[in-house]
Structure 1
Amino acid sequence: MADYEVYDSPTPIEAGFKCCCPRCGEGKLFGGFLKLAPKCDRCGLDYSFADPADGPAFFVMSGIGIVVIGVFAWVEVTYHPPLWVHLVTVFPALIIGCLATLRPVKSWLVASQYINKAEEGRFESLGRHDFDSRRL
């Protein structure tokens, strides 16, 4: 019988909020601010499978942008503040909001890739019985 450990894996959302390993839920996922560590320091899971690409940046910019610009529009219509008030509040809100949520969203996407066993698509070669070239 093979020796293996059973892990109590967190859900992708839990792993995202904690920025932890998607398998054991304890190890660190990041080696820098947004750079993934090579592997988990607790269970040894190799993070080379993880490639969230630009997904986290897209989701964060879209979500934070919609919320902040919605609040900006509401404040403008309701209170008509001077332009400097918007400059002092909107840009910092966009920057801080994006930087604060980028790590958890990236961690969530990496955990989703791990749990759903996501990988690049590939073509399977068709066997002789699956494809008849005479029908073309």
Structure 2
Amino acid sequence: MDWQECCDKRIAKDVKLDLPLIASLIKSSANKMKSENSLMISEITAASKLSLAYDSLRELLEASALKKGYKIYNHECYTAFLKEVIGESVKGDEFDEIRKVRNAVNYYGKSISTEETTDIILKIKNLRNFVNSLLK
């Protein structure tokens, strides 16, 4: 789905700048990342760590979209946002890859190894750093 389709289907809408909401999302994102960091990786915690890290990234993306004047209502449109609004096609592809793994784990019961979880969380942290830089 491209950005135009996201807007046409009203999955992404123009909104007014809401600085308190942006600040709240940034704080919530940081708290989720701290929670993820506090869990030791194991076969039991792998999916939880992935979910926390992903949610942390998604909240930063939501804050970034709000800062640009958009409210995005599905995760697929964050890929289009990164690619077309931010102009970072590679980052959009990275997010989409992460999103698909997270969806497979959360919605389809896919098992995830500690090694794969560690690799994906590293990608999430790198992408978080990039999105954080957009919020400065």
When the two structures are superposed, what TM-score results if normalisation uses the length of structure 1?
Answer: 0.29
Larger radius of gyration: 1
Q: Which has the higher helix share?
A: 2
TM-score, normalised via structure 2 length = 0.29
- The answer to which structure has the higher strand fraction is 2
